[in-house]
Every structure is written in C-alpha cells, then in structure tokens.
Amino acid sequence: MITVLAVGVAAALGAVARYVLNQYVQYRSPSTFPRGIWLINITGSFVLGLLVGLGARHGLPEQVLTVGGVGFCGAYTTFSTFSYDLVRLCKERRVGKSVLYGASSLTAGLLTAAAGLVIGSL
C-alpha cells in the first residue's frame, strides 16, 4: 500500500517536472519542433535504463526501482503527447519535421536507454 502511494507521489513529481521543463524549453526557444518533450523523453529513458541496470547488477532495492522507474520516469516521459505531436506536425504539412521527430526520438531514446543500462550495470 505504501508503495502505491509512493508511486503516486513520484508520478505527480514526474508530471510536474515534465510540465515545468517543457514550458521552460518553449519559453527559452519557441519552435514548432517539440524540443521540450523530445528532451524529456530522452533523459527519462536514460534515467530509467540506469535504474534498471542498477537493479539488475547492483541490487538496487525493488521498491526504489518501482518508485523511481514506474512512478517518476514513467510519468515524466510520455507517449501520448509524442504521438499527438507526430500527427499534428503531419497535419500542419510539416511531414519532414514529423518524421525527423519520430526517428530521432526513437533512435536517441533506444541509445540513451541502452547507455543507461550499460552504465548502470558496470
């Protein structure tokens, strides 16, 4: 029960972190390319990879992994906005940007998550 509560609180923090960081990126460098969510998804993937790696090789407690990974990282990163932005860019006839956004998010996400896993299990 306490784990459920902790996951919820971590998710709330993750959501607020995502909102604030995204707002900040849009404030500093407004762009049609969703730079904020890109950055958030990539960094979140890295941190989750790191946590999973630490859990697999260095005995990071299961609960820390659940709260930090499922709660914080899961809420910090988002799939629905990613998907929506891809469609939005296509509808705005920015198909090239949409493809670039999707491809770069996936490539960078997979690579940084892998880097996190490797660094975490060193």
Partner 1 sequence: MRADESGPERDSQGPAYIPGAESEPLPIAPDADEGVRAGSAVPTAAGEGFGSRLRKGVLAAVALGGLLGGTARYALGLAFPTPEATFPLTTFAINVSGSFLLALLLVYVLEIWPPTRYVQPFAAIGFLGSFTTFSTWMVDTDRLLVDGHYAAAAFNVFGSLFAGLAATGLGLAIGRIALARRARLAALRGHARRYGWWVR
Q: Is 96 annotated as a binding residue?
A: no
The closest alpha carbon to 40, from 78, 2, 85, 5, belongs to 78
Kindly tell me which residue out of 45, 54, 55, 60 binds partner 1, with binding defined by CB under 8 A.
45
Roughly what angle, to the nearest 10 degrees, separates helices 80-91 and 95-120? 160
Residues 99, 20, 37: CA angle, nearest 5 degrees: 10
Copy the structure tokens of residue 84.
């929506």
Q: Does 84 bind partner 1 (CB under 8 A)?
A: yes
Query: Do the Cβ atoms of 67 and 55 come closer than 8 Å?
Result: no
- The DSSP output letter for 12 is H
Q: Does 92 bind partner 1 (CB under 8 A)?
A: yes
- Residue 42 Cβ vs partner 1, minimum distance, rounded to whole Å: 9
8 is in an annotated binding site: no
68 binding partner 1? (CB under 8 A): no
Applying CB under 8 A, the residues found at the interface with partner 1 are 4, 7-16, 18-20, 22-24, 26-28, 30, 34, 36-37, 41, 44-45, 47-49, 52, 66, 69-71, 73-88, 91-93, 102, 105-106, 109-110, 112-114, 116-117
The annotated binding site is made up of 74, 77
